[in-house]
Amino acid sequence: MSKIAIATLAGALLVAASTLGQAQAPAQAQAPATTGPVREALGEGASKALIDRRIEVIKVAIGLTPDQAKLWPAVEDAIRARLTARHARLVNLAARAKADEVNPIEILRHRADALTQRAAALKTLADAWQPLFATLDENQKRRLKFLAVYVLREMRDAVETRRIMSEDEHEDDDQD
What does the DSSP assignment read for 56-109?
HHHHHHHT--HHHHTTHHHHHHHHHHHHHHHHHHHHHHHHHHH-S---HHHHHH
Q: What is the mean pLDDT of residues 35-59?
A: 74
CA–centroid distance for 170 within its chain:
25
Nearest to 87 by CA among 114, 126, 120: 114
Per residue in 81-135, pLDDT (tens digit) is: 998 898 888 888 878 777 767 788 988 998 899 899 999 999 999 999 999 999 9
- Report the distance separating Cα 85 and Cα 10, nearest Å: 29
Confidence of residue 2 (pLDDT cuts 50, 70, 90): low
pLDDT tens for each residue of 11-31: 544 444 444 444 444 433 333
Provide the whole-model pTM.
Answer: 0.65
